[in-house]
Amino acid sequence: MTTSILTCIFCWPLLAALALVFVPRNYRVIIRAVALLATFISMLLAVKMFCQFVTGHAGYQFEQQIPWVESLGISYHVGVDGLNVGLILMGAIVAFAAALCSWEIQTREKEFYILLLVMTGGILGAFASLDLFFFYFLHELALVPTFIMIGVWGRGERKNYATFQITLYLSIGALIALIGLIALYVQSGANTFDIPKLTEYVQAHPLAAHSQNFIFPLLLFGFGILVSLWPFHTWAPLVYSSAPSPTAMLHAGVLKKFGLYGLIRIALPLLPQAAQHWMQILAWLCLGNILYVGWVAMRQKDLNLLIGNSSVAHMGFIFLGIASLNLIGVTGAVVIMIAHGFLAALTFGLSGYIYQQTGMLEMKELGGLLRKLPFIGTALLMAAMAGCGLPGFANFVGEVTVFFGAWKVFPLVTGLALWGALMIGALYMLRAMRNVLHGPLPEKWSGISDATHAWRKLPYALLLASLLAFGCFPRLLTEKITPDVEKIVKMVRGETVVVGSTRVSRVQFGVPPNCVGARMIGFDQMKDGQLNPQAVSGVTPETTRETRVLHNIFVRTLASNTILN
């Protein structure tokens, strides 16, 4: 069996972490070199995978599947489509940038790099996984190192409290999501954890409305806690201000997208009725992220706390795009997920550099740093502009797309979100840049130095280049994302039923004579642009779910005399 490039992408960091276990801790150069080499190879493979991805290709690409526990339907299954191809690329780039920024770690370097590599491999594997078991397991594999890294290498007097908060919140969120995933597996009756098979089965045999209404909120709030959905967001700003820069870069930039990806990949297509019911609530909750957290950011005096609250506020735009349940809005949400990954990693990396030079991030104590740190200051100013949604950066593409999509569905919510983005976001970000970069330079900062070495500049330049590349050429992302988002949206809204090459535009139910409990299924088949009414009859057992609804049903073939259950 040919090994998928996806397996190589996330296994390189895991194998490097295993190799570092056997390297003596006093071999500091070798330890750092191994971590950089592993993340660099993963990044190159991710770039190759992204470039070789065929836009519009039906199904998943670069697939690999190995059965594991067949009795439970668990298998090692990886693959990519438009939803996760950009996330894997973003995650690999951010991981390499985080490894480059790890020069600030001076104690227990061996353990730190091992945890960083495990964190990287886990989240890249979670994004690539098409099996619910490995999807969840690999995320937990990436999450556990986060707790340890903050507790051991964190900074500030409140790092222990921050470690307690993130452990408590994310453990509860992960547990709630796990209950939802297990309930989905049990209630579906598909006897498989394989996401494509589960999706196909659930579309042919939709869950009852009461089951959907039980499972969907578990996934929404379980994943929502992991993403810092308001009002379950209070753990995030303090954690990011206390975490070492590489940890904050990886978690805020990459791990946080796991919950959002899970909602789009699993919750929306498999629980369509409940999704439509809960989206109105989600749209109003996202205003808590955009407005309330934005106001909190305006009051911050610490740069990292401001950036942390800004990161939480940006999650609101993604939730708004998901809540729109239309092609434009959900596509914009996926674009923001990728763009925010680059932006969050960039801002936390830059604030970490300033902290290493000054030993503090109190904005009233800083000022005029652009004179002494021209490269770092310019990069931070550009990151602030990207956070404000300036055209030319990828964030602008995602946010304006979300606003267009959401305006059709939630005009009032979208109007308030626009005000929050244009006024509140711009106010706290521009004021922070004025306090940190401009004004008189305090005498005590006269000895700080800019990033002059190419290796010190590389992570920030790489992340900035990614933001600009996808901002100036958004079709690199949108052309890949749109076809698969369209499938998700159609599954949720039940607009059409695609069966192989047959598009069903009308479904009828009737009871044929002489057949108790049977249902006749009639459909209009579109073939070569012609409408061909046909009928397929079949007997459905009395145990059939009474609330069964045909949304989008994907099966491989539909021949005559097919029994539809």
Q: How far is CA 27 from CA 22, 70, 101, 216, 233, in A?
A: 11, 44, 19, 49, 40
What does the pLDDT look like over 101-123, one tens digit per residue?
888 888 888 999 999 999 999 99
User: How much is the pLDDT for 470?
Assistant: 93
Structure tokens at 247: 């940890």
Peptide bond into 269 cis (omega under 30): no
One DSSP character per residue, 380-427 reads: HHHHHHHHTT-TTSHHHHHHHHHHHHHHTT-HHHHHHHHHIIIIIIHH
Cβ–Cβ under 8 Å, residues 507 and 497: yes
Of the candidates 12, 268, 257, the one whose C-alpha atom is nearest the C-alpha of residue 127 is: 257
User: How much is the pLDDT for 113?
Assistant: 93
Neighbours of 464 (CB within 10 A): 19
User: How much is the pLDDT for 37?
Assistant: 94
Of the candidates 146, 152, 107, the one whose C-alpha atom is nearest the C-alpha of residue 123 is: 146
Helix (H) or strand (E) holding 555: none
Alpha helices in 129-244, H assignment, sequence order: 132-153, 159-188, 195-204, 209-227, 235-242
User: How much is the pLDDT for 508?
Assistant: 39
The region, left, alpha or beta by phi > 0 then psi within -120 to 50, assigned to residue 368 is: left
Alpha helices in 301-366, H assignment, sequence order: 303-324, 327-358
Neighbours of 104 (CB within 10 A): 15
Cβ–Cβ under 8 Å, residues 341 and 94: yes
Cβ–Cβ under 8 Å, residues 6 and 45: no
User: How much is the pLDDT for 361?
Assistant: 84
Structure tokens at 61: 């690409």
Q: Rounded to whole angstroms, how far apart are CA atoms 124 and 118? A: 10
Structure tokens at 449: 């130095």
What does the pLDDT look like over 429-480, one tens digit per residue?
888 888 888 888 888 877 888 888 888 889 999 999 999 999 999 999 999 9
Tell me: pLDDT of 539 over 60.
Answer: no
Alpha helices in 359-373, H assignment, sequence order: 369-372
What is the Cβ-side half-sphere exposure of residue 226, based on CA atoms within 13 angstroms? 30
Task: State the residue for tokens 């039906």.
Answer: 58
Tell me: pLDDT of 207 over 90.
Answer: no
What does the pLDDT look like over 481-533, one tens digit per residue?
998 898 898 888 765 434 333 343 333 334 444 444 444 444 444 433 344 44
Neighbours of 2 (CB within 10 A): 7
* CB burial readout 46-63, b (16+ within 10 A) else e: beebbeebeeeeeebbbe
User: How much is the pLDDT for 200?
Assistant: 86
Which residues, in sequence order, are CB contacts of 84 under 8 Å at separation 6+? 127, 128, 261, 265
What would the mean pLDDT of 12-34 be, rounded to a whole number? Answer: 91
Q: How far apart are the first and last CA of the chain?
A: 35
